[in-house]
Amino acid sequence: MGGRGEYRYLVESYGVNATVYDYQGIIVHGPGAVDETEINWALTNLTAGRTRKETVVVTGNFIINNPILVPDYVILDLSEAYIRLANTRNLDMIQNRNQDATGNQHFEILGGILNGNKANNLVAGHGIHLDHCHYATVRGVVIYDCRQRGIHFYSDTALSDYCEINENRVSTCQWEGIYIHNVWYSVIGWNFTYSNISDGLSIQAGLGRTIIGNVSVYNQDDGITIGSGGESSINDNTSALNSDRGIHMSGGGAYAIVGNTIFGNGQEGIRIDGTACNINTIAGNYIYDNGGNTLDQIYIAASRNVVSSNVIGCVGTGSNQGRDGVRIVNASNCSVVDNLIENLANAGVQLYGASSCLVSGNVIVNGDNYGILLDADANYNRITENFTQGNAVGCARVNNANCDNNVFTNNNFDEGNISDIGTATRAWLNYDPSANIFIATINPPTDSGGDTLP
């Protein structure tokens, strides 16, 4: 029993009976044929009224019929344990003990393997189910084949806070791999979620979360989905090869989506389609080869969002070339600035019914359509200081008479003149570097004396 560090109890089983030992190696409970009974005995018989964590080590192979219940101020060390849910139990494998508003605090669940045995539990069962917890940690647990979620961390009106869900591997669960709801000021980091039937990682209500360093791949819905909450960061994650979107935001706002790698997803790389999903920053991401050739790398249908300093494009051709690099739909006051956008099947940037947006400082090259496209009733947008080159149809087009009062100025458009059927479009001081000329002006401004400016 050496080498495990200090512990209060050790629970041991190798497939027959579970036995509880104290720190001196003396049997204090069992052997018992019901594995979770012995584990729960150890968790229940720690020092009463403690304010410091005590450790229970679980080692060996276990089959449980009912949940393991985790109280306050405990470290549940499963690093040497394999635990399988028995057939037809349809229950959670591990829960915090008080799942009402009282909750639990200051506990850790560390390591181990949890097999949810979903083939023989056809109705319900999460791997780890936490509710109303404070200062809780789940780290380094391998969870697979749960009938519901691998980690289900749900709080309703009484929030959870200051928790860490880190370095877990969650796969082949019937619902999401990891689901977080109303958990505030917490870190969800460096988890690996893969091949789950729904989303890899789902973030719902709450503020002040850091979602960092996770890898979410081959899930059958989204890699990462955001349904509500805000004032949180989604940074340095990899979301790839999922059936739906890399990152999908349908609710919430004020998120920083920064430094992520998003590729090979069946639908959009990033999709923000909740109309109230405002004031988000999408910056410094590497986004490519998403959506086949029918969907966009970034799709935004909400106002006051910033897309900046991303590398966006496709390395494939034909059916694997994406559609638009950045598509803003029926939104206002968005900014698309300082991005590198290349090799798309349609436009590098498309404003479709978008108004009062800024498109500035982007490098848009080698697309199969226009570099910049305005359509529907895209009004009062400013297109300035962009560089386009090698886009097959042209540098930019205003594609609808309902597009009103859009301004193009100080761009380097290597493909020549702007194509325009809009209303009151204005364009001046746009330069074609290959031809070394300023391209044709459209309704340029005049000075105070009525002379047209160059």
Q: How does pLDDT run across 215-245, given as a tens digit for each residue?
A: 999 999 999 999 999 999 999 999 999 999 9
Residue 379: what residue type? N
Question: CA-CA distance, 153 to 138, in Å (whole number)?
Answer: 10
Residue 375: what residue type? D
Q: How does pLDDT run across 372-422, given as a tens digit for each residue?
A: 999 999 999 999 999 999 999 999 999 999 999 999 999 999 999 999 999
Question: CA-CA distance, 160 to 414, in Å (whole number)?
Answer: 55
Q: Is 55 a residue whose pLDDT tops 60?
A: yes
User: 3-state class of 42 per DSSP?
Assistant: helix
- How many Cβ atoms from other residues are within 10 Å of residue 306's Cβ? 18
Residue 182: what residue type? N
The CATH number, out of the four listed (3.40.50.720, 2.120.10.30, 2.160.20.10, 1.25.40.10), of the domain defined by the range 1-221: 2.160.20.10
pLDDT, residue 44, reads: 98
Q: How does pLDDT run across 335-353, given as a tens digit for each residue?
A: 999 999 999 999 999 999 9
The model's pTM is 0.95
Q: What is the Cα gyration radius of the chain?
A: 28
Q: How does pLDDT run across 108-150, given as a tens digit for each residue?
A: 999 999 999 999 999 999 999 999 999 999 999 999 999 999 9
Residue 97: what residue type? R
Question: CA-CA distance, 135 to 138, in Å (whole number)?
Answer: 10
Kindly write down the DSSP assignment for every residue of 238-254, as one continuous string. Answer: EEES-SS-SEEESS-EE
Give the residue carrying structure tokens 């009463």: 48
- Distance set, CA 153 to CA 146, 181, 225 (Å): 15, 6, 15
How far from chain centre, in Å, is Cα 85? 29
Query: Checking DSSP bridges between strand 94-96 and strand 253-258, what pairing results, if any?
Result: unpaired
Which of 145, 116, 112, 126 minimizes the C-alpha distance to 13?
A: 112
Query: Checking DSSP bridges between strand 9-14 and strand 18-22, what pairing results, if any?
Result: antiparallel
**Percent over 90 (pLDDT), the chain:** 91
Largest CA distance in the chain: 100
pLDDT, residue 60, reads: 97
Which of 372, 254, 272 minimizes the C-alpha distance to 331?
A: 272
Token pair listed for 373: 């496209």
User: Which residues make Cβ contacts (< 8 Å) with residue 105, sequence separation at least 6?
Assistant: 72, 73, 133, 134, 135, 136
Kindly write down the DSSP assignment for every residue of 423-448, as one continuous string. Answer: BS-EEES-EETTTTEEPPPBS--B-T
Q: Is 318 a residue whose pLDDT tops 80?
A: no
What is the residue extent of each domain of the chain? 1-221, 347-454
Band (pLDDT 50/70/90 cuts) for residue 14 is: confident
Q: How does pLDDT run across 62-88, given as a tens digit for each residue?
A: 999 999 999 999 999 999 999 999 999
The arithmetic mean of pLDDT across residues 5-18, rounded, is: 91
Strand partners, 58: 11
Kindly write down the DSSP assignment for every residue of 162-194, as one continuous string. Answer: S-EEES-EEES-SS-SEEEESEES-EEES-EEE
Query: Checking DSSP bridges between strand 68-70 and strand 94-96, what pairing results, if any?
Result: parallel
Question: CA-CA distance, 413 to 431, in Å (whole number)?
Answer: 6
DSSP tag of 43:
H
Is residue 428 a contact partner of residue 444, using CB atoms and an 8 Å limit?
yes
pLDDT, residue 454, reads: 61
Q: Is 1 a residue whose pLDDT tops 90?
A: no
Question: CA-CA distance, 143 to 179, in Å (whole number)?
Answer: 13
